[in-house]
């Protein structure tokens, strides 16, 4: 019951009495309680969905990691016949397609929560496009279709962006075009134009892609629905949810990715014959970097960079960038760790520091460096712009997402053209240990992944490797023998990787712990870092990513 009392006043404003209104709000309260219960149920359902996706991802990715990895190693074997090479290629392509389906499901979950994050890095644009076409070429051939590709010879070769996401969009569009075309052709055309920039050495490109087919067409009404999730088209030109192969998520995810790349996607069709999908994205052109490396490569050689960022993807991107420029790089996940390293005495030439990090920020780290007399140039990484307190301690800033060309521009200014007030501290170039000196412990319960990881490490030249099958054995091994790095599977019997890491990090001089996980959900990554892990590698393990992580550890160990 709700009671509202109002005073009744005369013309002079004096109270003459009161008016009370009592209202039965039982139904309203019941509705409020129902809404609260519904909200709690929805939150529980969302949590259950996330947990289900995480478990499903792990269970599927774990065996797929072995399939993809072994197929790659087998393809590099000597004396393979043409038939064996073809079989291995088909095996690799099929397992990759299955992995992409798993990724689509997880991407949809992330997309619903607004959580797809681009992983920008340098890549060869022409190679990325041709690889996407190669994946679908056999499908087109099987249907007797002419698969055409038109790429201008002047297309920028080296760009910065998310190659995997671009290939995912191209794969989705080409696959759909082939699926709904019975006769004729499917054609991919690529054009580009420059985007003016005020930054030295930086040139962005607007890359325009067109996928044209001679298939069944899409009517005007349905064109407005085609980018919605779970919408699919059948051969009688009507939309269904279960009449054609596929999960019905590809175009919706493609649109999300294209938008995230500062682009747009659209479709045109007369509704009778053929469709044309067009999209554009913005990429940084790295071609000038290749030219400038020829001019200044010798000046950058043997320089040493310290990279400080609490986000693993950013550290990997930075490590790859600096190695491609001939600069030795040492990465740290925390400011305190980096400062401790500096105080041990090894010299360096430049520091790249993220401004926003937990416990000790990049601003605090740079201030501490200046107070201790470090005069090397510092480039700050900021997600919020450059108008920040303490910017006088930095030589330059760049914003996230990190552009490789923009960063290279600033590195050249600091180390070559000397556009900085910093005074370098002289030092002797450190002797980097030969590959294989790292003592590596692998904690992995899956037998086939044990073999795969061992082979990958052997390919990279690492021989001092020991394998254990659960977290308890890992803890026991670390406590009795010294290791530099532990590659730790997260889900293991007896004791999982999280609990094992917590115990290891309490030991004196613990090794660096890198998570090896089949999960790609951000929540699972956060749990790994909260447990004390120093890095995260998702299955299937990429040889290049593993190499980048271990190179960084080698430099720290010198």
Highest mean pLDDT range out of 64-68, 214-218, 419-423? Answer: 214-218
Going by pLDDT thresholds of 50, 70 and 90, the confidence category of residue 191 is very high
The class (CATH top level) of 121-285 is alpha beta
- Mean pLDDT estimate for the chain: 80
Count of Cβ atoms closer than 10 Å to residue 553 Cβ: 19
CA distance 410 to 396: 7
403 near 276, Cβ under 8 Å? Answer: no
**Would 287-415 and 440-557 be classified into the same CATH topology?**
yes
Query: 3.30.1300.10, 2.30.30.30, 3.40.50.2300, 3.90.650.10: which CATH number matches 440-557?
Result: 3.40.50.2300
Going by pLDDT thresholds of 50, 70 and 90, the confidence category of residue 525 is confident
395, pLDDT greater than 70: yes
Which residues, including other chains, have CB under 8 Å from residue 24's CB and lie 6 or more apart?
A: 1
pLDDT for position 239: 42
Residues 333-342 have a mean pLDDT of: 90
pLDDT for position 557: 58
467, pLDDT greater than 90: yes
| Domain 287-415, CATH | 3.40.50.2300
pLDDT in tens, 130-148: 989 988 888 898 899 999 9
**DSSP labels for 234-274?**
-TTS-EESSSSSS-S-HHHHHHHHHHHTT-EEEEE--SSS-
Which residues, including other chains, have CB under 8 Å from residue 135's CB and lie 6 or more apart?
A: 93, 96, 97, 171
pLDDT for position 208: 96
Nearest to 442 by CA among 431, 432, 456, 428: 456
14, pLDDT greater than 90: no
pLDDT for position 436: 46
pLDDT in tens, 19-40: 888 888 888 888 888 888 888 8
Q: Comparing 143-152, 168-177, 378-387, 459-468, which segment has the lowest mean pLDDT?
A: 378-387
50 vs 84, residue with greater confidence: 84
pLDDT for position 31: 86
68 vs 439, residue with greater confidence: 439
In the chain, what are the domain boundaries?
A: 121-285, 287-415, 440-557
pLDDT in tens, 219-252: 887 788 888 765 555 444 444 433 344 446 788 8
Which residues, including other chains, have CB under 8 Å from residue 475's CB and lie 6 or more apart?
A: 495, 500, 503, 504
Q: How does DSSP classify residue 215?
A: S
pLDDT for position 302: 80
Q: Comparing 131-135, 201-205, 474-478, which segment has the lowest mean pLDDT?
A: 201-205
pLDDT for position 177: 93
360, pLDDT greater than 60: yes
| Burial class of residue 119, CB neighbours in 10 A (0-12, 13-18, 19+) | middle
- Give the three-class secondary structure for 357: coil
Which residues, including other chains, have CB under 8 Å from residue 443's CB and lie 6 or more apart?
A: 468, 469, 470, 471, 473, 474, 486, 487, 488, 489, 492, 497, 500
CA distance 135 to 149: 13
Q: Comparing 291-295, 322-326, 463-467, which segment has the lowest mean pLDDT?
A: 291-295
CA distances from 549 to 190, 309, 340, 344 (A): 35, 14, 20, 22
Instruction: Report cis status (omega within 30 of 0) of the bond before 401.
Output: yes
CA distances from 346 to 338, 341, 349, 550 (A): 11, 8, 11, 19
| Burial class of residue 532, CB neighbours in 10 A (0-12, 13-18, 19+) | middle
pTM: 0.51
The dihedral sign for the CA sequence 446, 452, 454, 460: negative
CA distance 507 to 483: 12
pLDDT for position 161: 86
Residues 317-339 have a mean pLDDT of: 87
Q: Comparing 42-56, 315-329, 357-371, which segment has the lowest mean pLDDT?
A: 42-56
Going by pLDDT thresholds of 50, 70 and 90, the confidence category of residue 167 is very high
Highest mean pLDDT range out of 128-137, 498-507, 526-535? Answer: 498-507
The packing angle between helices 404-415 and 312-324, to 10°, is 60
CA distances from 476 to 219, 456, 469 (A): 66, 25, 12
pLDDT for position 558: 54
Q: Which two tokens stand for residue 464?
A: 């001092």
Q: Which two tokens stand for residue 62?
A: 């774990």
pLDDT in tens, 53-102: 666 666 777 787 788 788 878 887 888 888 888 888 778 777 777 777 77
Q: What percent of the chain has pLDDT over 90?
A: 24
The single residue listed with the structure tokens 């394998």 is 467
pLDDT in tens, 252-296: 889 989 998 989 999 999 888 899 999 999 987 766 666 667 667
């Amino acid at each position: 019951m709700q009671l509202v009392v109002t005073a009744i006043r005369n013309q002079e404003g004096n109270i003459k009495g009161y008016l009370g209104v009592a209202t039965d709000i039982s139904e309203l309260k019941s509705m409020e309680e129902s809404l609260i219960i519904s909200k709690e149920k929805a939150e529980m359902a969302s949590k259950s969905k996330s947990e289900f996706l995480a478990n499903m991802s792990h269970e599927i990715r774990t065996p797929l990691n072995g399939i993809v990895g072994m197929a790659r190693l087998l393809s590099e074997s000597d004396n393979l016949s043409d038939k064996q090479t073809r079989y291995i290629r088909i095996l690799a392509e099929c397992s990759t397609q299955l992995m992409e389906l798993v990724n689509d499901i997880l991407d949809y979950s992330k997309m619903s929560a607004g959580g797809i994050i681009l992983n920008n890095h340098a890549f060869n644009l022409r190679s990325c496009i041709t690889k996407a076409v190669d994946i679908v070429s056999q499908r087109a051939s099987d249907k007797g279709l002419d698969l055409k590709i038109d790429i201008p010879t002047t297309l920028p070769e080296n760009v910065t962006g998310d190659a995997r996401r671009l290939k995912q969009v191209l794969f989705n569009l080409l696959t759909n075009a082939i699926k709904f075309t019975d006769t004729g052709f499917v054609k991919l055309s690529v054009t580009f134009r420059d985007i003016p920039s005020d930054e030295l050495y930086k040139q962005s490109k607007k890359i325009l892609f067109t996928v044209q087919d001679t298939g069944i067409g899409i009517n005007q009404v349905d064109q407005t629905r085609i980018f919605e999730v779970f919408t699919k088209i059948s051969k009688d030109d009507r939309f269904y949810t279960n009449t054609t192969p596929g999960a019905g998520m590809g175009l919706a995810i493609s649109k999300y990715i294209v938008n995230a790349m500062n682009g747009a996607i659209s479709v045109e069709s007369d509704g009778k014959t053929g469709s044309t999908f067009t999209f554009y994205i913005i990429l940084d052109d790295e071609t000038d970097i290749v030219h400038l490396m020829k001019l200044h490569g010798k000046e950058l050689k043997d320089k040493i960079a310290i990279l400080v960022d609490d986000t693993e993807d950013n550290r990997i991107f930075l490590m790859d960038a600096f190695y491609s420029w001939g600069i030795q790089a040492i990465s740290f996940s925390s400011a305190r760790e980096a400062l401790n390293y500096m105080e041990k005495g090894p010299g360096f030439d430049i520091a790249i520091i993220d401004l926003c990090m937990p416990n000790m920020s990049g601003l605090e780290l740079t201030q501490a460096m200046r107070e201790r007399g470090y005069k090397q140039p510092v480039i700050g990484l900021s997600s919020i712009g450059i108008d920040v307190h303490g910017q006088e301690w930095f030589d330059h800033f760049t914003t996230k997402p990190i552009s490789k060309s923009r960063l290279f521009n600033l590195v050249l200014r600091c180390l070559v053209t000397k556009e900085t007030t910093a005074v370098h501290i002289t030092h002797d170039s450190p002797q980097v240990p030969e590959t294989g000196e790292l003592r590596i412990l692998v904690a992995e319960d899956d037998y086939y992944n044990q073999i795969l990881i061992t082979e990958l490490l052997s390919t990279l030249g690492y021989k001092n490797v020991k394998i254990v099958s659960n977290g308890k054995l890992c803890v026991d091994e670390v406590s009795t023998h010294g290791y530099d790095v532990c590659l730790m599977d997260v889900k293991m019997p007896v004791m999982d990787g999280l609990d094992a890491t917590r115990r290891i990090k309490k030991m004196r001089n613990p090794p660096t712990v890198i998570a090896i996980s089949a999960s790609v959900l951000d929540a699972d990554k956060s749990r790994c870092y909260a447990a004390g892990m120093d890095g995260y590698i998702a299955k299937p393990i990429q040889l290049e990513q593993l190499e980048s992580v271990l190179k960084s550890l080698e430099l720290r160990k010198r």
